[in-house]
Amino acid sequence: MKSHYRAVVIGGGVVGASVLYHLTRFGWSDVALIERAELTAGSTWHAAAGFHAVNADPNVVALQDYTINLYREIEAESGQDIGLHMTGGGNIASDPARWEWLKSAWAVFQSVGIETARLVKPDEIKAICPIVEVTGVLGGLHDSNEGHLDPYGTTHAYAGAAKKRGADIILRNRAVELKARAYGRWDVATEQGTIIAEHVVNTGRLRLVLLQCRHEIRGASLRHAGARQGDAGRWPAGTLHRAAVAVRRRQRGQLSDAQATRDAVRAVGFGTGRGDDVHPCRRLAGRRPQCLLRETDHRYRGVTDGG
């Protein structure tokens, strides 16, 4: 581990490994990834790892299509098998509003250059997947460029390709604190020492929320929690325990990212205070990373091509 890096990525899940790979892909070789345990040890290892490009946001559609097409490239570059299965997949509609939305999604696909998707009629859906009951179905959107992969292998493929391009990967080294320096640099305090970085990308997801809450609550007034001003550097009774319970439930798959984030932030005071006396973690909640909140509520996998 060096003492200085141009960029440090915290978190060894698929997001962190992908960020590290893309930094090197764009020419940054003086970069490092720090992981508290092993790669994929957080939430990546048990991800379902299905992929598709359907989304209401055209920018996300283009990003997801780029990522899907990248998988074979990183597999070849790294030499790591990612367990890629291009099964094809689809969405089906049984009410007019849903059918109109799928047709608009197909139009978005066309606008960003995705040519693997097509609108299908009920009899075509039945031909693709005979076990689907199409009574009352109006139509569907089928994309042959959908499937699933091995999240463990994919993370190691990103990491392996990044290492070949000059990146460092530092395992079993927890990042414990971030301190801002002058001129925009950062001190990244870890269990094995402090690193100075020009840029820091924290992909620790829910753990990041808890660390940020703890940082913001330190030194702030806790009068609304009944604490003395001299106690401002400590958590109110039970707070950390309730937040940790949310983390554990997310790790066990009992809560989604959004639900666990909500419970953890509420545990440290979300929703308390008004006006200028708003709890610091309520202010934090308003700027949580969007990736913690995104849910694919309006999609379900209804058609597959076997595999």
Residue 292: strand, helix, or coil: helix
Return the percent helix, strand and coil in the chain, to nearest 5. Answer: 40, 20, 40
- Whether the per-residue pLDDT at 220 is higher than 50: the answer is no
Structure tokens at 3: 């003492």
- Mean pLDDT over each residue of the chain, to the nearest integer: 78
User: Model confidence over 15-34: pLDDT tens digits?
Assistant: 999 999 999 999 999 999 99
User: Where residue 118 falls among pLDDT bands split at 50, 70, 90?
Assistant: very high
Residue 141: strand, helix, or coil: strand
Mean pLDDT over 225-230 rounds to 39
Angle at the Cα of 80 from the Cα atoms of 77 and 86, rounded to 5 degrees: 90
Query: 0.85 exceeded by the pTM?
Result: no
Residue spans of the domains in the chain: they are 4-49+150-202, 50-147, 206-292
Q: Which of 66-75, 104-113, 146-155, 243-252 has the lowest mean pLDDT?
A: 243-252
Please enumerate in sequence order all residues whose Cβ is within 8 A of that of 279, keeping only pairs 6 or more positions apart, or say none. 220, 224, 268, 269, 270, 272, 273
User: Where residue 232 falls among pLDDT bands split at 50, 70, 90?
Assistant: very low
Residue % of the chain over a pLDDT of 90: 61
Pick the CATH number of 50-147 from 3.40.50.1220, 1.10.357.10, 3.40.640.10, 3.30.9.10: 3.30.9.10
User: Where residue 277 falls among pLDDT bands split at 50, 70, 90?
Assistant: very low
User: Where residue 56 falls among pLDDT bands split at 50, 70, 90?
Assistant: confident
Could you say which DSSP state residue 269 is in?
T
C-alpha span between 211 and 289 (Å, rounded):
14
User: Where residue 182 falls among pLDDT bands split at 50, 70, 90?
Assistant: confident
- Structure confidence at residue 234 (pLDDT): 44
C-alpha span between 12 and 8 (Å, rounded):
11
C-alpha span between 251 and 232 (Å, rounded):
29
Pick the CATH number of 4-49+150-202 from 3.50.50.60, 3.90.550.10, 3.40.50.11540, 3.30.420.40: 3.50.50.60
C-alpha span between 262 and 243 (Å, rounded):
10
Residue 62: strand, helix, or coil: helix
- Largest Cα–Cα distance of the chain, in whole Å? 71
Q: Where are the beta strands (DSSP E) in the chain?
A: 4-10, 31-34, 50-51, 89-93, 117-120, 139-143, 147-148, 168-170, 175-180, 186-190, 193-202, 303-304
Angle at the Cα of 266 from the Cα atoms of 283 and 189, rounded to 5 degrees: 65
